[in-house]
Structure 1
Amino acid sequence: MSEVVAKVDPMPSTRAEAAYQRALATFRDPTLDLLHGRFAPFVVAVLSLVFATDRPFVAVADAHAEIGEALDELRAAGYDEDDRRLPVGSAREICRQWVRGGWLAPQLEGEVEVYRLTAHAVGALEIAGRTGGGRARVSRSRVRTLLEAVDRLAMDAESDPAARLERLLNERAALDAEIERLQRDGAAPIDDEQLLEEAENVLHLSRELPADFSRVAESIKAMQRDVVAELRRDERPTGDVLREYLQRGKHVMQSTPEGRAFEGALRLLGDPERIDRLTGQLATLLAQPFSHLMAPAQRADLDAIGRQVEQGVADVLTAQRRASQIITAQVRTHDPIRDRQVDDLLRGVMSGMHAWMRVSRSSERVEPLHTLPVADVGHLRQSLSDLRPPGSPDPLSTPVDAEFVDADTRAWGGPHYAELEDYTATLGEQFDLATAFDGIEDANRRPVDLLGLLEIAHRAGMTEGEDVSVVEALRPDGTRRRFAFGSVTVQPQKEPEND
């Protein structure tokens, strides 16, 4: 029996070998795979055209049409002379390759199937755009950002209350000195070149946001897929499964490192007033004179920062909501036995396909299964027209006493017809129903006896009047109930005389 041995990189023995193995692992990442691929310029150009800040997802049909149009234009311009420049195939086939490569993610948006850029594709586009826009300069704002970040980290990591208090007092003294200087000398104008440098630093920081948001959303989706796959393999009691997985579905954001980091950022970004203030500040900056020194693409990127933040937060929260819904729905419909039966059925189908492929020819036709087989349950009765039983029942072996119920059960039963008929026979040919009911003894003055008396009156002949009669019935437990109905007079109808 031959053994299949997985290829595992040996432990590095030198620094050079360790560095080389780290580089190999890095280049297996889909981000660098996109940039290092055969058609990387085409992929970067088309994805940057189809997807934009205000267009994070595109309908599948629209994406195929736009990519096909871009292919036709580039081929007409002569860029397909070298087979390394443009891929072959239709736009649909190219998009499928990009999905397999981890650069596009198909999903449903409402009832429409759309494409979204994955975090790897967003990162690759950011690297390409940053490289094409020139190298980042070592500037005052860049260094200041670094120093402030290190200073904040050192302050947060400080565990000595006296040291933290001294640092805060020094910051307050510096702020008081700056306030005093501004009150005394006024604000000195800042050079446009310095403001431009600050704006470029802001753009540099903002370029990381889309990929970061996409990475958080994708980590939540990956966790959701892992949970569902693990749930299907679970053979524990359903109660234990419900408790564990509903808890994970409820706290899906805390299940990944990216989600926990995003929750901290959401405390800053989730405030609508902060987003509105950010949008207003960006609009004010674009109205300043220094903004005219920026390239049009830089101005557009600066203006889009607020929308990027809003869209990124919305994408992550949508991924969290969908993951919770999918996990909850999977738990509610979880049936380990049925899942194993489906898995066994699919494995049987695949085994049959493999066996058939070994003996079949390429042109052999397969007849599809139009209907499922019907279970053989024998002959069932098809007509209900003959309602007669197949035979008469056997006679009772002993006579049965009809008075088999106790007095309490009989008291709550139907009307006492015999007693009511004997009572009405003493009232004469004409009487008022309400008056007659009030004169009955308590045992026969139940609500059901009122109905029985009405039935007897109907058989004897009755006339309904316009007045309203009110009677009080007495239940067997002693409670009383009042009923109102149109007045009824019992009077036998005379038969018409024959001429």
Structure 2
Amino acid sequence: MTNSRAEAAYLRAAAAFRNPTLDLLHGRYAPFVVAALSIIFTADRPSVAVSDAHVEVSEMVDELRAAGYDEGERALPAGTGRDICRYWVRVGWLVLQIDDGTEVYRLSAQAVGALEIAGRAGGRRARVSRSRVRTLLESVDQLTRSAETDPAERRARLLAERAAIDAKLASLENDPFEPVDDDQLLEEAENVLHLSRELPADFTRVAESINAMQRDVIAELRRDVRPAGEVLREYLHRGEHVMEATPEGRAFAGALNLIGDPEHIDRLTEQLGALLARPFARLMPTDERGELRAIAKRVEQGVQEVLVAQRRASHVITTQVRTHDPARDREVDELLRSVMSGLQSWVPESSARDRVEPLRRFPTAGIGHLRQSVSDPRPPSAPAPLHEAADQAEFVDADTRAWGGPLYRELEEHVSGLDTERFDLGAAFEAIETGGARRPVDLLGLLEIAHRNGMVEEESVSVVEAVRPDGTVRSFAFGAVTARTVKEEVTDD
């Protein structure tokens, strides 16, 4: 029993030391790592361009090496700043991201936690103060109230709280006011700083959990062979509700109700500014005053970091789902597996000097000859003119040609037979015999002929009656129109 308990405890400790947080603090170059990360990444600079970080790390190594800090316990890592930063990315202390098209480094949640632990260990030790005990008691009391299911008990607690508040108000009215001494205010400020130091790591942990969930979703999507419609519905829903997909995200969503409103951040900034203006704040060390002033900014940056991770994950998942093609993904996977299989079979049989000629372009199909020109698409001659076949047309019930367009030939013959040089369109239409070109559509045809013959609009109004092929009569009113009468020229054949 003793051996099993010892073994279990040892395995837990070994797993804890494999965590990047303890690995960072336990490594050979831990002092340099902590110093470099704490200088490069600050509350005002949560992300750093990759090129800038490489230069700054190289300068720190050269400066410390020139000062003699490269012996024994003060050993410094070898390599360039790029090599050092890439190693930190590989072991999980830095996160490489794309920000507005630029590669940047960000601290991982493990690195933030390690810096917070190192800061607490290197600074003033935490004391068992009144404010810390009160914070613990208030947290336990809040947990007890939240877990209470009896309405009567909850009501009794609220009444007791109201009675305590009323007693404090009465004390302020009747007794002389005694301000809180500076020692207690300093304890309260230390407690606030202690609580605030854990927030950056918490925010970063939420963002990393969302990013990890995004990678898992994309990996599952690539392996998914279900119908496209079913895949779209499920993964689009997961993309829209990405914040609810992890325990950290759900916890942050609840905390966002307290700190997500910009008014709350502004109020927090005003409160911290007012505290720093109090006399007790002058007794605080300079670094602690700066840390207290930066709390609101750190909270705002943490919220922004999580929301950016949420939007990025939703966008990536939605884009991947919309472009999801299982057949293409399977082809790519098969191609990659064939490449890996070829490498595994080639590496044991090859030497260090063997080279593989790269494929610089895809092979082309061996086609003998392609047609380079086409024949003239125009016909060799004009088509034959259409023949009049009106007498050969056969109709089942009635002659449907009466419902067709204007009878231009009959209308032109009617106009050319008028005795005046100019004719009134309405009078000319009324002069057509019923059964001829007297339909509504013929009125439009006559208007078109008048337009060709120099139409002039008058100020009076013409009213005509048109007769449809079925015998129904329609009346039309329009502005009076006159036009020239064009006589048909008779030529001798």
Q: CA RMSD in A?
A: 3.9
Alpha-carbon displacement from aligned partner over 1:269-316 (angstroms, at most 9, x marks no partner): 123222222111100110011111111110011001101111111111
Question: Which of 231, 245, 254 in structure 2 is aligned with 1:241?
Answer: 231
Q: Which moved more, 1:206-215 or 1:442-451?
A: 442-451
Separation (CA, whole Å) in 1 of partners of 2:229 and 2:95:
35
Which residue does 1:168 correspond to in 2?
A: 158
Separation (CA, whole Å) in 2 of partners of 1:482 and 1:376:
73
Separation (CA, whole Å) in 2 of partners of 1:381 and 1:74:
73
1:102–1:118: 8 Å Cα contact kept in structure 2? Answer: yes
Q: TM-score, normalised by structure 2?
A: 0.84
Separation (CA, whole Å) in 1 of partners of 2:440 and 2:371:
46
Alpha-carbon displacement from aligned partner over 1:200-229 (angstroms, at most 9, x marks no partner): 010000000000011111111111111111
Q: Which moved more, 1:188-197 or 1:298-307?
A: 188-197
Separation (CA, whole Å) in 2 of partners of 1:147 and 1:133:
26
Which residue does 1:4 correspond to in 2?
A: none
CA shift, 1:479, in A, is 12
Which residue does 2:386 correspond to in 1?
A: none
For 2:454, what is the secondary structure of its paired residue?
Answer: strand
> Which amino acid in structure 2 is aligned with residue 154 of structure 1?
T
> Which amino acid in structure 2 is aligned with residue 462 of structure 1?
N
Q: Which moved more, 1:302-311 or 1:186-195?
A: 186-195
Is residue 52 of structure 1 aligned with residue 52 of structure 2? no
Is residue 260 of structure 1 aligned with residue 246 of structure 2? no
Distance 1:408 1:312, change over 3 A: farther
CA shift, 1:112, in A, is 1.7
Aligned length: 478
Percent identity between the two aligned chains:
63
Separation (CA, whole Å) in 2 of partners of 1:26 and 1:442:
105
Separation (CA, whole Å) in 2 of partners of 1:386 and 1:52:
74
1:462–1:489: 8 Å Cα contact kept in structure 2? Answer: yes
Separation (CA, whole Å) in 2 of partners of 1:288 and 1:204:
20
Which residue does 1:426 correspond to in 2?
A: 417
Distance 1:83 1:285, change over 3 A: closer
For 1:253, what is the secondary structure of its paired residue?
Answer: helix
Question: Which of 124, 128, 135 in structure 2 is aligned with 1:134?
Answer: 124
Which residue does 2:212 correspond to in 1?
A: 222
Alpha-carbon displacement from aligned partner over 1:105-151 (angstroms, at most 9, x marks no partner): 11121222211111111111111111111321111111111111111
Separation (CA, whole Å) in 2 of partners of 1:472 and 1:60:
85
Is residue 489 of structure 1 aligned with residue 483 of structure 2? yes
Which residue does 1:462 correspond to in 2?
A: 453
Is residue 111 of structure 1 aligned with residue 101 of structure 2? yes
1:434–1:470: 8 Å Cα contact kept in structure 2? Answer: no
Question: Which of 71, 78, 91 in structure 1 is aligned with 2:81?
Answer: 91
2:457–2:482: 8 Å Cα contact kept in structure 1? Answer: no
CA shift, 1:427, in A, is 3.7
What are the residue-to-residue correspondences of 1:306-325 with 2, within 5 Å? 306-325=296-315
Unaligned runs of 5+ in 2: 384-388
Is residue 208 of structure 1 aligned with residue 207 of structure 2? no
CA shift, 1:451, in A, is 7.3
> Which amino acid in structure 1 is aligned with residue 114 of structure 2?
A
CA shift, 1:328, in A, is 1.4
Is residue 23 of structure 1 aligned with residue 22 of structure 2? no
Separation (CA, whole Å) in 2 of partners of 1:476 and 1:186:
109
CA shift, 1:381, in A, is 3.6
Separation (CA, whole Å) in 2 of partners of 1:80 and 1:402:
112
Unaligned runs of 5+ in 1: 1-10, 394-398
Q: TM-score, normalised by structure 1?
A: 0.83
Which residue does 2:114 correspond to in 1?
A: 124
CA shift, 1:234, in A, is 0.9
For 1:54, what is the secondary structure of its paired residue?
Answer: coil
Separation (CA, whole Å) in 1 of partners of 2:476 and 2:363:
64
> Which amino acid in structure 2 is aligned with residue 489 of structure 1?
A
What are the residue-to-residue correspondences of 1:312-461 with 2, within 5 Å? 312-375=302-365, 379-384=369-374, 386-387=376-377, 415-427=406-418, 430-431=421-422, 434-435=425-426, 438-439=429-430
CA shift, 1:84, in A, is 6.6
1:253–1:263: 8 Å Cα contact kept in structure 2? Answer: yes
Which residue does 2:276 correspond to in 1?
A: 286
